[in-house]
Structure 1
Amino acid sequence: MDVLHSWCENKLQKNYLSLLVGAILAGAYIGFASQLFTLVTTAELANGVKQLLGGIVFSIGLILVVLGRAELFTGHCLLSYSCFTFKNYVIQTLKIWGLVYLGNFVGSIFLASLYASTGLFNTGGGVIAQRAYQIALTKTQIPFTQAFARGILCNWLVCLAVLLCIYAENNLTRLLVIPGPIATFVALGYEHSVANMYFLSAGAFAQNYLHKSSVPVTLSGIAHNLVPVTLGNIVGGVVMVGLLYWLKERG
């Protein structure tokens, strides 16, 4: 039994309460990284430099998830690896995806609402609120097919980072392999469903600090982003990493 299949087996055997709590924690951890990204990208820098810097700090989110043994939906797309061999794992995998996705959403919204209550959106004369709102508004305006494609590319890299962590022999190695793929997907502008759960929620809260004439971040706008991005993340994780590595191991 290879190490990736062993990882899948361990996840599939976890009880639902453990998965739900771990997923709530992961949603919050990715939210903390998203807060750092929001803060860093307020800097007056060239766009490429700003995005790369944002990507580097965002990688802290996956570090917290991996070392904190939390449950992240995008990483769980790798459970498909065992499904290609054992078809009876498919239903259990779908149940876990649904539970973890829900938990990630709860953790993200909770962190966004808690942050809104701190008054820190007013930092720098409201620059944080403006940046959070702009990130969310931009995401709600991405066309469906583009958001779907960005979701595929994102989770190709995220699942690669998770795979490298699974293959790593210790936590120090895991710390070293995570930033590369994560900083890459963020800097290039790809779309991550769990990060967007926070970004979109934070933008909805942040608009309360701005002029009433601002274009609102609505529930329909949030769904317009999360649906194609989530579908793209599934394809990226299942096909570009899960299936291809399954074929590679059996080649």
Structure 2
Amino acid sequence: MDWLNPPALAGAMLEAGTKKANLPAKTILLTGILSGMFLGFTTTLFVNALVATGDAVVAALFFPVGFILLVLLGLELFTGNAALLPYAQMGGRISGGQVVSGLVMVYIGNLIGSVIYALLFAAIDTKFFTDAPSPVGAKVVAIATAKVLPYMSAGAAGWGTALLKGVICNWMVSLGAVMALVTRSTIGKIFAMYLPIMAFVAQGFEHCVVNMFVIPCGIMLGAKVSVAQWLIWNEIPVTIGNIIGAVIITAAGLYLSYGKSPTLVAEQSTIPVQG
């Protein structure tokens, strides 16, 4: 049967997290850079759809494209790794140090890739910064502004709101990485990943890697937001929230429910699975 039941899925998660923790640092960094670029282009696809339709829920139907591609290509994404690496540590497969080093390396790679695509898109959208942003670029500016200034104006309540939106976001996104493990079928993987990723975007939650693209790109295109404001009022609380959502809700929740799967056999595993 082309489906891993929950105990077998738990075993596949252990194997996936262990494999990720043992990747060479160079591989994590390079595939992390590519993942950041992938989430950048899937964000501009979303913004194009949003401008064309005026409906965020309809536009969210297009966003999962980048996530699906990076998973199928075996790339590394911080938000998925924030669930799978801790899960492997809970299962005694890897050390806490490996979790921290793996997450730091992929975070750096995602940031580099996101900023690279932000620069490319901003240059394209403005004809190498000689013209005003297009309607899509203007929407990127508006989104970047909306992801920082309202939180800043609300003070501590705004910072906490960004954190909680990060928690809920990565509960869904990390589930996308987990759901990629439930089947060997490519079509099955696509559909299983698609659902939670579309759900987080449609509801406007906060994803630290998406924000690594959209806010710097908005700043390049003229958003009245400083780098310090982005980091303090969005990137830092959202990253903390993303970690909490992945570790507490996804990893710990599933580990406490199902634990290790002693019956997992090699052919059941869909490794390598990334994201």
Q: Residue 92 of structure 1 aligns with which residue?
A: 98
Q: CA deviation at 1:130?
A: 1.4
1:1-59 CA distances to partner (integer Å, 9 max, x unpaired)?
811101111111110000100000000000010111111111353xxxx1112211111
2:139 corresponds to which of 131, 136, 159: 131
5 Å-filtered alignment, 1:89-128, equals 89-119=95-125, 126-128=134-136
Q: Residue 23 of structure 2 aligns with which residue?
A: 14
* Structure with more contact order per residue of length (Cα contacts < 8 Å, sep ≥ 6): 2
1:192 paired with 2:207, answer yes
5 Å-filtered alignment, 1:8-157, equals 8-43=17-52, 45=54, 50-78=55-83, 79-86=85-92, 89-119=95-125, 126-141=134-149, 142=151, 143-157=158-172
Distance 2:175 2:72 in 1: 16
The runs of 5 or more residues in structure 2 that have no matched partner are 1-9, 152-157, 261-275
Q: CA deviation at 1:119?
A: 3.5
CA contact (8 A) 1:32 1:61 kept: yes
Distance 1:3 1:118 in 2: 42
**AA in 1 matched with 2:16:** W
Q: Residue 210 of structure 1 aligns with which residue?
A: none
Paired residues, what number? 240
**AA in 2 matched with 1:118:** I
Q: CA deviation at 1:126?
A: 2.6
Q: CA deviation at 1:241?
A: 0.4
**AA in 1 matched with 2:256:** L
1:240 paired with 2:234, answer no
**AA in 2 matched with 1:174:** K
Q: Residue 267 of structure 2 aligns with which residue?
A: none
Distance 2:131 2:172 in 1: 33
CA contact (8 A) 2:28 2:105 kept: yes
Q: CA deviation at 1:88?
A: 5.3
Q: Which moved more, 1:149-158 or 1:120-129?
A: 120-129
Distance 2:17 2:109 in 1: 19
TM-score (norm 1): 0.90
Distance 1:43 1:167 in 2: 35
CA contact (8 A) 2:125 2:133 kept: no
Distance 1:133 1:124 in 2: 12
Identity of aligned residues (%): 28
Q: 1:88 to 1:181 in 2, by over 3 A?
A: closer
Q: 1:115 to 1:139 in 2, by over 3 A?
A: same
Q: 1:41 to 1:10 in 2, by over 3 A?
A: same
Distance 2:60 2:131 in 1: 22
Q: Which moved more, 1:82-91 or 1:128-137?
A: 82-91
5 Å-filtered alignment, 1:151-230, equals 151-207=166-222, 216-223=224-231, 224-230=233-239
Query: Which stretches of structure 1, 4 residues or more, deviate above 3 A after TM superposition?
Result: 119-125
Distance 2:185 2:105 in 1: 28
TM-score (norm 2): 0.82
**AA in 1 matched with 2:228:** S
Distance 1:36 1:88 in 2: 37
Q: CA deviation at 1:91?
A: 0.5
Q: CA deviation at 1:120?
A: 5.2
Distance 1:167 1:126 in 2: 41
Question: Of Structure 1 and Structure 2, which has the larger fraction of its residues in helix?
Answer: 1
